[in-house]
Structure 1
């Protein structure tokens, strides 16, 4: 009995582990089947054909100005790097810049949209430097205007075109009429409504000036955006009213202010007139004058037939008078052979002005020709040049002529004196003549007592007994020695 019981117990112990393994295996198989049954629809959907929503995403896009393959890929796929799918589908080559044309119709293939937090950033500025330039080239750059079927490009944000998009110029008159038309009853006549609608057309230019209050006058016309009432209403409370004072000086004050800001218009003295004017010297003075020895660098044996001649900037040697010497800076007038005017008085005609530039003891002084009014030659006399120039002063017109003289000399080298010609008068400083005086030359008509003004002259140089004048205006051609000359305007 005991043996049988033992054998039975051993068999029970051996079958129990096998049942446990089988039960566990069965549970695992059932669990696996359950999981397969639960996940099978999702797996089939992911690995099968595109869904209806994916098929519906396939569309046609019309290219607008400024769009690129990169921006379109970022728009439809959320990733600009997907631009190659658009290029392959539409047969575009990125070698052409830009590959897109405004108005082009693109087929956008359906792809799973991959969106992330940096999708907008990638669409704006791709970080991948290997992206071809053709994928980033904007449509419409450097090409013709957009095609008729393409929608217009939007103006950049903040530009004047963006701020005024959809707006028209509305004048103040049109705004008032539009307000009146809004407030008018609906039963108004149709003709009035048409007039109001025409006046309220803000597309028409209103170039008439606005009517408002200007300087206290109602109805005064002024050009501006708003009238005075609106301008005053728009002022800030803390602004101070600006008052403009109009200064109207009298004539004397206006002249004083003008002279204060303008440089005085004082004519310069006529140096050339004074240094070129003929004058009278005594024979004793001429005997003590220096001489022009010759031009530096030329032969000294030229003879009287071919005297040495000097021109501007030439250097010449000077022979000083007895018991005298020249100093550097001295200015001398050279003149040719004088002509006898009266017993003991000679008339000389300057040919130029020399300036001493070198003076050494025991050697001839050297001078340079500074101004030339004639032929400067060897052997001409030299006298000190007058200081300053012929003054240009404002004369006082006389009621009646006071000083009377005659024409004492005319230049024999001129066939007929004319403007800027010199004349010598028979009166000088001993009779009150001075440089700047204005005189008239009279000519008798047909041997009678009637006189006519032939020319007017201005005194340039006045010596004791004679005065040199220059012709300023000429009315008749005949001017001769002996004609009467009278002073009609006096220098101060």
Structure 2
């Protein structure tokens, strides 16, 4: 029984050893296959390289043609233009030359171009950036003329070689003279008819520069092929000399021309002064006028501080008078009435100009504020806007003052009227005043009781019995009511 057990144990041990050997065999096979897969491409590539090198030559020659560059040749034979340095190094070409390639140069290039594909070669042969050095893109034969290879290089224009080109040394003067004598003594060769016909006739040409005198007795040399008389005689009969006339006016004429194009430096009536100058109307006139009813889009509950006040470009509604109506295109002057002016008269202070843009029967007309010279508010009345403004005029000074009146109105809001302040005088068109006239305002001197010039004013608007003026010059501080005003310059 024990012997049987021992035999069974030895059989099991041999089976285990066989299994271990089988596993080792399979591992060795798998490792061998892996090594073959890894090393096979390198071995095959080495074999192909050795076969190619044994069958084909390593290099061949290429003759450089005009227009070829190191870049294009590298793209052609290496398949990549960036290999131009390898091509230059292979042929010992210094890349600092401009251009490094010469027409007819023989280069050593790969015998079998290593082109990686037509598209790759096309892209490699056409660089799009500016990082490629100029030596790689310099074309062979660029900047040279045909046959320039046999022609020696020309020296720079400022060099010594250029300055002495074609000139002999001083010691060779005698030799060159003897050579000239021998050439002159030699019999001349007969010339062909063609060469005689082509040669220009210079026997009548005067190659000496013409000499003449100019003003002052100094001498001037005019370099030309013919003299002055020859130039004059060669002109055609139909040609005439061109005469350039220079206009040099005298001092009086120059001043007249200047005044004709420049306005004199004197105060003149302006449109803004005419439209904003206060004037006087009769009280009954106000009873027949329309008024500003409201500003479009404004309301008392809108939260605005001044809901019924309009400015330029605003739209306003106009209420026509009881016996009248408005039409599109009518222009009106809005005005305020700050104070009365005597019995039955009212001072009118213009605030702006409005123009009717929409009129619909009995409804309020719609108008746009065109100009503004004051506060345009609800309830202000309307007068027809003046159609004539104060044109530019230059007043002519009078020998003696002819119209005498007094200052009848000053703006109560101004403590001391000064330049550009409005003043109303008690004379108008009935006395001959008109826009553009100039008047002098006089007051009593502080000492002596005589008159003294206080200011000058210019008429900007003249009504029947008064005129609105603006202060242009001021000589004393205070201007008061009742001061005398006399016209000293009249508009033409």
Q: TM-score range by the shorter chain?
A: 0.5 to 0.7
- Does structure 1 retain, via aligned residues, the 8 Å contact 2:331–2:354? yes
- What secondary structure is seen at the aligned counterpart in 2 of 1:339? coil
Residue 334 (str. 1) matches residue 324 (str. 2): no
Who is 2:313 aligned against? 313
- Count of aligned pairs between the two proteins: 318
- TM normalised by structure 2 equals 0.54
Q: Alpha-carbon deviation of 1:437?
A: 0.3
How do 1:82-101 residues align onto structure 2 when only pairs under 5 Å count?
92-93=92-93, 98=98
- Does structure 1 retain, via aligned residues, the 8 Å contact 2:454–2:474? yes
Who is 2:464 aligned against? 464
- Does structure 1 retain, via aligned residues, the 8 Å contact 2:94–2:100? no
Mean CA deviation greater in 231-240 or 428-437? 231-240
Structure 1 distance, partners of 2:389, 2:439, is 19
Who is 1:219 aligned against? 217
- What secondary structure is seen at the aligned counterpart in 2 of 1:441? strand
Q: Alpha-carbon deviation of 1:416?
A: 2.0
- What secondary structure is seen at the aligned counterpart in 1 of 2:460? strand
Q: Alpha-carbon deviation of 1:333?
A: 1.2
Distance 1:333 1:219, change over 3 A: same
Q: Alpha-carbon deviation of 1:391?
A: 2.1
Q: Alpha-carbon deviation of 1:328?
A: 1.1
- What secondary structure is seen at the aligned counterpart in 1 of 2:430? helix
How do 1:391-430 residues align onto structure 2 when only pairs under 5 Å count?
391-430=391-430
Distance 1:230 1:405, change over 3 A: farther
Who is 1:136 aligned against? 140
Q: Alpha-carbon deviation of 1:98?
A: 3.5
Structure 2 distance, partners of 1:300, 1:326, is 27
Distance 1:379 1:137, change over 3 A: same
Structure 2 distance, partners of 1:277, 1:464, is 15
- What secondary structure is seen at the aligned counterpart in 2 of 1:349? strand
Who is 2:322 aligned against? 322
- Does structure 2 retain, via aligned residues, the 8 Å contact 1:294–1:300? no
- TM normalised by structure 1 equals 0.54
Who is 1:244 aligned against? 243
Question: What does the per-residue CA deviation read over 1:377-406, in whole Å, with 9 as the maximum and x for residues that have no partner?
Answer: 111111111112112212211011111111
- Does structure 1 retain, via aligned residues, the 8 Å contact 2:88–2:95? no
Mean CA deviation greater in 443-452 or 90-99? 90-99
Q: Alpha-carbon deviation of 1:450?
A: 2.6
- What secondary structure is seen at the aligned counterpart in 1 of 2:448? coil
Q: Alpha-carbon deviation of 1:235?
A: 4.4
Q: Alpha-carbon deviation of 1:488?
A: 0.6
Q: Alpha-carbon deviation of 1:419?
A: 1.9
Task: Identify unmatched segments of 5+ residues in structure 2.
Answer: 1-63, 67-86, 107-124, 126-135, 145-151, 165-209
Distance 1:248 1:89, change over 3 A: closer
Who is 2:272 aligned against? 272
Who is 1:361 aligned against? 361
Structure 2 distance, partners of 1:358, 1:396, is 46
- Does structure 1 retain, via aligned residues, the 8 Å contact 2:283–2:346? yes
Structure 1 distance, partners of 2:321, 2:480, is 38
Mean CA deviation greater in 237-246 or 280-289? 237-246
Task: Identify unmatched segments of 5+ residues in structure 1.
Answer: 1-68, 72-86, 102-107, 110-128, 141-150, 168-209
Distance 1:98 1:347, change over 3 A: same
- Does structure 1 retain, via aligned residues, the 8 Å contact 2:334–2:381? yes
